[in-house]
Amino acid sequence: MADPPRDRHTGEDAGLAADRQPAPGMPRWVKVSAVIVAVLVLLLVLVMLISGGGHGPRRHWSGGAAGPAPRSSVSAVFTLSGGGLGDQPPSAASH
């Protein structure tokens, strides 16, 4: 954001030229990026659903301030048999 935007219409009739211009549509790079991001998000959601879900923003809100930890790490901790942190839920372990 260092360089201020340049105005290409700096001549005497800049105002009139601007009035004649049609409203711009969405640039191609925005459309292409949107499609790519949509495809990636869709793939990510599919992978999560196939792998059993359990991830998403709701995961952080459902368990109080601390919220449960990622399945990959916490599920292992919860299944530990006795001792260590096996009996301690993440919310109890938080501040």
Partner 1 sequence: MTLPPGVRKFTLTIHLSCSVGWVGAVVAYLALGVSAVTSHDAETVRAAWIAMELTGWFVIVPLAVAALLTGLVMALGTPWGLFRYYWVLITLMLTILATVVLLLHMPTVSSLADMARAADAADLRRLGGDLFHPGLGLVVLLAIMVLNVYKPRGLTRYGWRKQQEQRRKQHQQRTAPTR
Min dist. Cβ of residue 77 to partner 1 (A) = 6
Q: At a CB cut-off of 8 Å and minimum separation 6, what does 95 contact? A: 66
Q: Is 52 in the site for partner 1 (CB under 8 A)?
A: no
Q: Is 29 in the site for partner 1 (CB under 8 A)?
A: yes
Among 16, 35, 42, 45, binds partner 1 (CB under 8 A): 16
Interface with partner 1 (CB under 8 A), residue total 49
Distance CA 55, CA 90 (A): 16
Q: Is 93 in the site for partner 1 (CB under 8 A)?
A: yes
Cβ atoms of 28 and 52 closer than 8 Å: no
Distance CA 58, CA 71 (A): 14
Cβ atoms of 57 and 48 closer than 8 Å: no
Q: Is 46 in the site for partner 1 (CB under 8 A)?
A: no
Question: What does the chain come to in residues?
Answer: 95
Q: Which residues bind partner 1 (CB under 8 A)?
A: 1-5, 7, 9, 12-19, 21, 23-24, 26-27, 29-30, 33, 55, 57, 60-61, 65-70, 72-74, 76-77, 80, 83-86, 88, 90-91, 93-95
